[in-house]
């Protein structure tokens, strides 16, 4: 009987610790930054919806509603990878102003992959092709390692994301269809006191073990009270 009591109390402690970890992970109260946009997208076009530096404790939630199915991609680069890509763009397109190279690093790399024979283009020439879905597809085929997450084709979606490391994350929305669509996008920043991957798995494990250990003790106590 003593061992049931000991295990039961141990299970209760583990359950409380697991619940405490869940509380630690829950984003703190506050008013997170939120941005939204709405408008139309041309056929076979993609766009950058957002780009920023995120860490394991800072992420975001993206929500998309559209009149037709779209695809959403989250692309990630470390600071070293980003600088390397910018150096490649500067070498390939020496005539481009650096402000364009910094603002459009990822799309310009995709153009470089899709049109390797394009020599000394002006920004106007690049703008004619840079947002084509075929350019995006070629870039992603060449650099699949940068895809952190991609959605299935959908007209309504919502997804929360926290990176495992410090990354520059680019949010891309693509319209692969042959006609224009209307789309509304909302991105809300999220923050947590501890990285999700370090909290959720241990918390679930502790809660599961705690419940398993506590149940025999609770049943024993109930049976004991019923006999009194």
Q: Which two tokens stand for residue 77?
A: 């680069």
Are 219 and 148 in the same domain?
no
Q: Provide the residue-wise pLDDT of the chain in tens; the chain has 228 residues.
A: 565 555 556 656 555 655 555 555 555 555 567 889 999 999 999 999 999 999 888 889 999 999 999 999 999 999 999 999 999 999 999 889 999 999 999 999 999 999 998 887 888 889 889 999 999 999 999 999 999 999 999 999 999 898 988 999 999 999 999 999 999 999 998 877 555 555 555 656 656 665 665 566 556 666 565 555
Residue holding tokens 């364009």? 100
The number of folded domains in the chain is 2
Residues 129 and 139: their CA atoms lie apart, in Å, by 13
DSSP string, 147-164: EEEEPPSEEEEEEEE--S
Are 38 and 148 in the same domain?
yes
Are 150 and 48 in the same domain?
yes
Are 144 and 214 in the same domain?
no
Are 111 and 150 in the same domain?
yes
Domain of 88?
34-191
Are 80 and 144 in the same domain?
yes
Are 176 and 207 in the same domain?
no
Residues 169 and 56: their CA atoms lie apart, in Å, by 12
Q: Which two tokens stand for residue 155?
A: 């007209």
Are 173 and 210 in the same domain?
no
Q: Taking the model in full, what pTM does it have? A: 0.74
pLDDT at residue 219 in the model: 63
């Amino acid at each position: 009987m003593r061992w049931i009591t000991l295990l039961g109390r141990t299970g209760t402690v583990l359950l409380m610790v697991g619940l405490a970890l869940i509380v630690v992970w829950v984003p703190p109260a506050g008013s997170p930054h939120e941005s939204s946009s709405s408008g139309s997208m041309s056929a076979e076009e993609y766009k950058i919806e957002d780009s920023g530096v995120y860490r394991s404790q800072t992420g975001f939630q993206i929500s998309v509603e559209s009149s037709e199915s779209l695809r959403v991609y989250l692309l990630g680069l470390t600071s070293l990878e980003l600088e390397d890509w910018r150096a490649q763009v500067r070498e390939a397109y020496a005539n481009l102003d650096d402000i364009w190279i910094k603002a459009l690093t990822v799309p310009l790399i995709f153009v470089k992959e899709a049109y390797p024979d394009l020599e000394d283009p002006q920004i106007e020439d690049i703008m004619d092709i840079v947002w084509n879905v075929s350019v995006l597809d070629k870039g992603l085929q060449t650099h699949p390692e940068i895809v952190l997450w991609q959605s299935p084709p959908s007209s309504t979606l919502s997804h929360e994301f926290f990176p495992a490391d410090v990354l520059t994350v680019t949010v891309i929305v693509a319209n692969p269809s042959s006609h224009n669509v209307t789309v509304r996008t909302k991105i809300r920043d999220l923050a947590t006191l501890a990285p999700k991957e370090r909290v959720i798995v241990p918390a679930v494990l502790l809660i599961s073990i705690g419940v398993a250990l506590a149940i025999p003790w609770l049943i024993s106590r109930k049976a004991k009270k019923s006999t009194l």
